Amino acid sequence: MRSLHWFRQDLRLQDNPALTAAAAADEVLCVYVLDERNAGGWALGGASRWWLHHSLQALDRALDGRLVVCEGDPRELLPTLVEAHAIDAVHWNRCYEPWRIRRDAEIKRALSERGVDVSSHNGSLLWEPWSVTKADKTPYKVFTPFYRKGCLSAGAPRAPLAAPVLRTVLSDTGSDIDALGLLPAVPWASGFDAVGQPGEAGAHARLDAVRTRGLAHYASGRDRPAAETVTRLSPHLQFGELSPNQAWAMARALPDSDDVDRFCTELGWREFSHHLLFHWPSLPSENWQPKFNAMPWRDEPAMRRAWERGRTGIPIVDAGMRELWATGYMHNRVRMVVGSFLVKNLLQHWRHGAAWFHDTLVDASLANNSASWQWVAGSGADAAPFFRIFNPVTQGEKFDAEGEYTRRWVPELARLPNKHLFAPWLAPHTVLADAGVTLGVSYPHPIVDLAASRKAALDALANTKA
């Protein structure tokens, strides 16, 4: 008997339910298809493509060079491979993006009509979106009851699976990974290695480091961008080099603590984002709350360009955007700050920010990215209200009190004292001169007045309600 395992967002051997099922056959064909035809506007961004390139190389090595890599439409490629290799069964782990769901249903129907046994599995989520609903069978709209009443009451997630024994891995003349053209043409990604090592081995190295640290100070320290308390597991989870079940099992094997609970809650937020995308497939493109359709957004490309390049004149915002550009990653607290600044202080539509993050984050997830941007904009499910506008000065003072993070990414302000670091436009001229800072020359003036732009945002919201 021969089976085909279709790798997607599960680039690993351990705890891979679909691969484990496929391995029951005597011979297995392992396939990855780069599908940019069906993805449309949600094709992988530049940073994700970089990570995928290296992750595929790692997976191919783990399979002794027998990973079949193709580029094109799986609706055409998979039936061809099935016929060429006389495949009896096809297995894959489910994805939850709307375009993938539509495509996968077509593939399953076409292969089944040919007499092929097609099975999909859950290798990406702790709980399936359709299995966590309210008593009336409708989907949750608020995180806390979703997680506490829905997820936790549904029972513990399944235990991770060991890597299966693949008796014979078939080979085929697929594309060379380099031929996919995933790497950027310019050396933009030279600093991405700082985020982590793509591939299953890199994921487990990161997980082992988290386990060794025991999640110490995770609950209290994860809001501080200069602290080494975040896990940086997100790209490994996004590409499936690590399963959420493995992350959950690691945490629950530690002694109970607020840190463990907070880590598991963050995995719960990942589940909630996929829950929202599954039940509301328009989440990436439309306001979840229709009342925001009347919001008078501005269209100011120059403002957005300054934001993208970390040249807003607001130090904590610029630090975050420069970290993103240099590393393909941004600390979660800073993501909220820069998001609030774009949407509320600059009054730019949240879709602009979501598109930039989609292109520049190595952990870009359609579910997480869409839900998070709608959260910060106030237009999403269980969102922060629009009138909650992060003040980037006080955010910097509170969460980067010593300025370590800001000085790292905005070195032209490094000599400013902490008192003036987060609002250099308020510093006396002598203080700026002593620090070698000339506003408008060595560092920009703020592109907006924070107080005035906050008032403009609240006025816009009031007019929308009216």
Strand partners, 17: none
d(CA 369, CA 310): 20
Cβ atoms of 245 and 126 within 8 Å: the answer is yes
**Catalytic residue status for 297:** yes
Residue type for position 222: R
d(CA 198, CA 175): 20
> Of 50, 307, 325, 373, which one is the catalytic site residue?
373
Strand partners, 5: 30, 91
**Catalytic residue status for 356:** no
**Catalytic residue status for 99:** no
Do strands 2-7 and 27-34 pair parallel, antiparallel, or not at all (unpaired)?
Answer: parallel
**Catalytic residue status for 332:** yes
> Of 27, 200, 266, 271, which one is the catalytic site residue?
266
Element (H, E) at 362: none
Element (H, E) at 417: none
Question: Residue 140, by phi and psi: left (phi above 0), alpha (psi -120 to 50) or beta?
Answer: beta
> Of 332, 402, 404, 463, which one is the catalytic site residue?
332
Which residues have a Cβ under 8 Å from the Cβ of 345 and sit 6 or more positions away?
389, 448, 450, 453, 454, 457
**Catalytic residue status for 269:** yes
d(CA 194, CA 409): 14
Q: Kindly write down the DSSP assignment for every residue of 449-460, as one continuous string.
A: -HHHHHHHHHHH
d(CA 26, CA 8): 22
> Of 99, 188, 297, 425, which one is the catalytic site residue?
297
Tokens read off for 208: 């082992």
Over its C-alpha atoms, the chain yields an Rg (Å, rounded) of: 23
> Of 36, 99, 122, 269, which one is the catalytic site residue?
269
**Catalytic residue status for 50:** no
- At residue 32, the 3 state secondary structure works out as strand
Q: 206, 332, 311: which is closest to 266 by C-alpha?
A: 332
Q: Kindly write down the DSSP assignment for every residue of 53-122, as one continuous string.
A: HHHHHHHHHHTTT--EEEES-HHHHHHHHHHHTT--EEEEE---SHHHHHHHHHHHHHHHHTT-EEEEE-
Catalytic positions, written as ranges: 266, 269, 297, 332, 350, 373
